[in-house]
Chain A
C-alpha cells in the first residue's frame, strides 16, 4: 500500500488481557514511531525505532508496554495485563528520517482504537 497501515483498527479487551497492535510502515522508511492519543488530547510519544534498533523508549508508560521491530519493517506494540487507563488510540508513524540536511516528514497511520473494559 501507499501509506502506513495499522491493524486491527479497533480492539476491545477485558482488563488483564494482553494485546498486540501491528504497524506496517511505508516501504523503505527507516524511522518508525509509536504515539498514544487519549480521548480529547494530542498524541504522546511512546517509542522510536531506526531500522530494527529501538533508540528511544522513554515514552512507554510502564513495563507492561513493549515494542519490537525485529526485521526493521513491521512493528508490534504489545501491552500486557491491560488496564482501563490504557484505553486510547495508538498511532504509528514512519519516515525516511533526516537525509543529509533534508528533513523527511512523519506519515501517520489511521491508528488502532483500544478500549479496555
Chain B
C-alpha cells in the first residue's frame, strides 16, 4: 500500500516570496505523482504530474515539482507567489492499476500582502 505525508499543514507566506510545500511518499512499487490544488469553494484541480522522463515538472502558472526517487519526495515550489495562490494543495500518488489516488493530508497556503 502507498502512503503520502505532507509535512506542513499550513504555510503562511508573503506575496512575491518563494514557497516550498513538502511531500514524501512510501510505496513498494513505482508510483506516479501528482499535485492537486483546491481554491476556496472550488473542486480539486490537477496542478502538475510526474509520470516518467524528466524529474522536474512545471505547471503553466509558475509552480514546479521535482521527483527525487532516492528521497521518495515530490516537493512543490514557486519562486514568487501571488495572492491568488491562496489555496489548499494536495500531493497524491497512484500505481498503474485503476489509477486510484492516495492523497496526503494537504497543505493550506495563505498568501499575505
Q: Which residues of A contact B (CB under 8 A)?
A: 3-4, 31, 33, 35, 40-45, 48, 50, 55-56, 59, 91, 93, 95, 97-98, 103, 105-106, 108-111
**Nearest residue, chain A, Cβ from B90:** A42
Whether B106 and A106, one on each chain, are in contact in the complex, defined by CB atoms closer than 8 angstroms, is no
Residues in B with CB closer than 8 Å to A103 are: 32, 49, 51, 99
Among residues 95 to 113 in chain B, which have CB atoms less than 8 Å away from a CB atom of chain A? 96, 98-106
Chain B interface residue count, CB cutoff 8 Å, equals 23
Q: Which residues of B contact A (CB under 8 A)?
A: 4, 6, 32, 36, 42-46, 49, 51, 90, 92, 96, 98-106
Given that A103-B32, A103-B51 are contacting pairs, would A43 and B100 also be in contact in the complex, using a CB cutoff of 8 Å? Answer: no
Residues in A with CB closer than 8 Å to B106 are: 40-42
**A95 to B90 alpha-carbon distance, docked (Å):** 19
Whether A33 and B43, one on each chain, are in contact in the complex, defined by CB atoms closer than 8 angstroms, is no
Given that A108-B44, A111-B43 are contacting pairs, would A33 and B100 also be in contact in the complex, using a CB cutoff of 8 Å? Answer: yes
Given that A55-B98, A108-B43 are contacting pairs, would A44 and B49 also be in contact in the complex, using a CB cutoff of 8 Å? Answer: no
Interface centre among A35, A59, A108, by most chain B C-beta atoms within 10 angstroms, is: A108
